[in-house]
């Protein structure tokens, strides 16, 4: 089954791709599936049942808000931040949705059921949407699964996907390496040849530069916003505090001028590390505050790839063109797709190794590609970055994408830099572990991981760190 590497990046809204964007998309699909004559058969209400990890951490991840938005016909990729913030401030008081002129009862407090400890078959993040008539009888029912990275599948789609063998050339590092050695084509040429079945190069460039633009705005906004993050943990934003220490007395009027200003100054080792942290943290503070972010490959891990892109653009002695940004994202996207198809990018299925581990691996590969490493070094960097995230659990405190998530993006970015430097200084022919082996190991580790550590907030930091909820 051929897939585009561009699919791994989605413009959306925080704080979670699987618990916010996925349910938003599922609610949109349900809204669109309600067709004549069901709406006219005395349709009266919508009920949503959430299972597995969604039932445990959906509240902290904004799942209720996302479902309301999807049922109401809003789109995560295009909604204006001001409208989103406006609805967010009063959505708990809303008690109906309107579909094609029909008013249906729906309140996030009374029409969403959290079935904690219960699972649907196929995937932990199951959702059942029900349309009831005015007497409470079922008219229509649809089941969806949020399978990570904002992707949603029905039961039939999951069954179909698992029965189709992925024979695409991009399905493994080995098949790409073999193709490269047989044809002499570069990694970018191989990716573009694969992508040509979906889009022209111009379309790819437009899409990826738009993705980059959202990443840049997100980091810029995060570096210029102070305050307390929502959700009740009273986590104070740190990116701006760090930023202002690193760039005192600066003057610029937009994000691109900001980058130039950062680049114009010298930094010591500690300050360089601080900048990488600052970029990563800024994006994930925006994510935690329901800001507009790019899933890369998820929202919880959205800060790693922008941090490395901005590191290249501001802190390395490398002049980047639009082409370089496009190539970085193509390579990172390729590696993300390998994990999606060979393992998982869902924390509910594989813990944080599937989020921060994958984003770090993607970023390491993109960094080596930009620095002129060989195809083998690109895959070696991706392998090293994941090798040292294997087994990383997901245990968000109070079910919010804040602790440990925000700092973890900074650590994932630093590991990506270390992995890239190790690979650039190594002979990949002497490597003992391949990227394909590490992806397989990540998936097997995911399957052995206790559910407590797969985005349920039932173990680890989530139970040992007790902080008051407001």
Smallest distance, Å, CB 74 to ligand SF4? 24
Closer Cβ to ligand SF4, 48 or 401, answer by number: 401
Q: Residue 466 — left, alpha, or beta (φ > 0 → left; ψ -120 to 50 → alpha)?
A: beta
Binds ligand SF4 by CB under 6 A, chosen from 455, 456, 458, 462: 455
Taking the C-alpha atoms of residue 275 and residue 260, their distance in angstroms, rounded to an integer, is 14
**CB burial of residue 154 (10 Å; 0-12, 13-18, 19+):** middle
Q: How many residues does the chain have?
A: 470
SS3 439: helix
Q: By C-alpha distance, which of 111, 149, 108 is closest to 5?
A: 149
Contact status: 352 vs ligand SF4 (CB under 6 A): yes
Smallest distance, Å, CB 340 to ligand SF4? 15
Taking the C-alpha atoms of residue 367 and residue 247, their distance in angstroms, rounded to an integer, is 24
Taking the C-alpha atoms of residue 415 and residue 389, their distance in angstroms, rounded to an integer, is 9
Q: C-alpha angle 432/436/442, rounded to 5°? A: 100
Closer Cβ to ligand SF4, 240 or 389, answer by number: 389
Closer Cβ to ligand SF4, 19 or 220, answer by number: 19
* Residue 5, token pair as written in the block: 């590497």
* Residue 179, token pair as written in the block: 């193709």
Smallest distance, Å, CB 177 to ligand SF4? 30
Closer Cβ to ligand SF4, 120 or 347, answer by number: 347
Taking the C-alpha atoms of residue 150 and residue 152, their distance in angstroms, rounded to an integer, is 6
Contact status: 355 vs ligand SF4 (CB under 6 A): yes
Q: By C-alpha distance, which of 23, 115, 16 is closest to 71?
A: 23
Rg for the chain, CA atoms, rounded = 22
Residues 403-442, mask of contacts with ligand SF4 (x by CB under 6 A): -xx--x----------------------------------
Binding positions for ligand SF4, 320-349, rule CB under 6 A? 347
Contact status: 218 vs ligand SF4 (CB under 6 A): no
Exposure string of 240-261, with b = 16+ CB inside 10 Å and e = fewer, is bebbeebbeeeeeeebeebbee
Residues 374-403, mask of contacts with ligand SF4 (x by CB under 6 A): --------------------x-x----x--
Q: By C-alpha distance, which of 199, 193, 161 is closest to 176?
A: 193
Closer Cβ to ligand SF4, 34 or 352, answer by number: 352
Closer Cβ to ligand SF4, 116 or 185, answer by number: 116
Contact status: 288 vs ligand SF4 (CB under 6 A): no
Smallest distance, Å, CB 16 to ligand SF4? 7
Binds ligand SF4 by CB under 6 A, chosen from 192, 301, 304, 307: 301
Closer Cβ to ligand SF4, 384 or 405, answer by number: 405
Closer Cβ to ligand SF4, 13 or 347, answer by number: 347
Binding positions for ligand SF4, 144-203, rule CB under 6 A? none
Smallest distance, Å, CB 424 to ligand SF4? 27
Give the H/E segment covering residue 143. strand 138-148
Smallest distance, Å, CB 462 to ligand SF4? 9
Using CB under 6 A, count the residues that bind ligand SF4: 13
Smallest distance, Å, CB 318 to ligand SF4? 28
Smallest distance, Å, CB 300 to ligand SF4? 3
Taking the C-alpha atoms of residue 112 and residue 345, their distance in angstroms, rounded to an integer, is 26
Closer Cβ to ligand SF4, 373 or 404, answer by number: 404
Smallest distance, Å, CB 233 to ligand SF4? 13
Give the H/E segment covering residue 258. helix 255-263
Closer Cβ to ligand SF4, 208 or 439, answer by number: 439
**CB-closest chain residue to ligand SF4:** 300
Closer Cβ to ligand SF4, 132 or 276, answer by number: 276
Q: By C-alpha distance, which of 267, 246, 272 is closest to 258?
A: 246
Place of tokens 């190539």: 327
Using an 8 Å Cβ cutoff, are 77 and 178 in contact?
A: no
SS3 433: coil
Contact status: 300 vs ligand SF4 (CB under 6 A): yes
* Residue 145, token pair as written in the block: 């699964």
Residues lying near ligand SF4 in the complex (CB under 6 A) are found at: 300-301, 347, 352, 355-356, 394, 396, 401, 404-405, 408, 455
């Amino acid at each position: 089954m051929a897939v585009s590497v561009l699919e791994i990046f989605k413009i959306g809204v925080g704080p979670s791709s699987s618990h916010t964007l996925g349910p938003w998309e599922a609610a949109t699909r349900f809204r669109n599936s309600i067709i004549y004559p069901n709406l006219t058969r005395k349709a009266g209400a919508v009920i949503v049942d959430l299972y597995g990890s969604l039932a445990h951490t959906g509240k902290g991840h904004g799942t209720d808000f996302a479902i309301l938005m999807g049922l109401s016909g809003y789109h995560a990729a295009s909604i204006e931040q001001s409208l989103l913030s406006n609805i967010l401030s009063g959505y708990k008081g809303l008690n109906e949705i309107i579909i094609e002129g029909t008013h249906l009862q729906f309140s996030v407090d009374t029409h969403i059921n959290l079935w904690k400890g219960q699972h649907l078959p196929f995937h932990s993040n199951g959702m059942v949407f029900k349309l009831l008539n005015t007497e409470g009888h079922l008219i229509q029912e649809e089941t969806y699964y949020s399978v990570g990275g904002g992707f949603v599948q029905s039961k039939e789609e999951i069954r179909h996907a698992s029965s189709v063998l992925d024979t695409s050339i991009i399905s493994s590092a080995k098949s790409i390496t073999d193709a490269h050695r047989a044809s002499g084509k570069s990694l970018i040429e191989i990716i573009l040849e694969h992508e040509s079945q979906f889009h022209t190069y111009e379309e790819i460039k437009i899409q990826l530069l738009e993705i980059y633009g959202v990443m840049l705005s997100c980091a810029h906004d995060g570096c210029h916003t102070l305050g307390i993050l929502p959700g009740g943990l009273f986590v104070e934003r740190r990116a701006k505090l760090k930023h202002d220490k690193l760039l005192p007395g600066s003057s610029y009027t937009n994000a691109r001028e900001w980058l130039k200003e950062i680049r114009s100054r010298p930094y010591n080792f500690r300050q360089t590390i601080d900048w990488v942290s600052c970029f990563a943290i800024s994006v994930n503070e925006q994510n935690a505050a329901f800001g507009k972010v790019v899933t890369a490959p998820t929202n919880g891990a959205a800060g790693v790839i922008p941090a490395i892109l901005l590191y290249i653009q501001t802190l390395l002695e490398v002049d980047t063109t639009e082409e370089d940004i496009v190539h970085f994202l193509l390579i990172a996207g390729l590696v993300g797709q390998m994990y999606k198809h060979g393992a998982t990018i869902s924390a509910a299925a594989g813990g944080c190794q599937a989020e921060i581990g994958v984003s770090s691996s993607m970023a390491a590969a993109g960094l080596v590609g930009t620095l002129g490493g060989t195809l083998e070094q690109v895959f070696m960097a991706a392998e090293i970055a994941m090798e040292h995230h294997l087994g990383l659990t997901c245990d968000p405190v109070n079910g919010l994408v804040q602790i440990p998530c925000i700092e973890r993006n900074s650590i994932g970015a630093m590991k990506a830099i270390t992995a890239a430097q190790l690979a650039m200084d190594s002979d990949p022919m002497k490597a003992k572990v391949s990227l394909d082996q590490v992806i397989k190991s990540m998936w097997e580790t995911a399957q052995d991981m206790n559910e407590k550590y797969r985005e349920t907030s039932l173990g680890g930091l989530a139970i040992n760190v007790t902080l008051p909820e407001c």
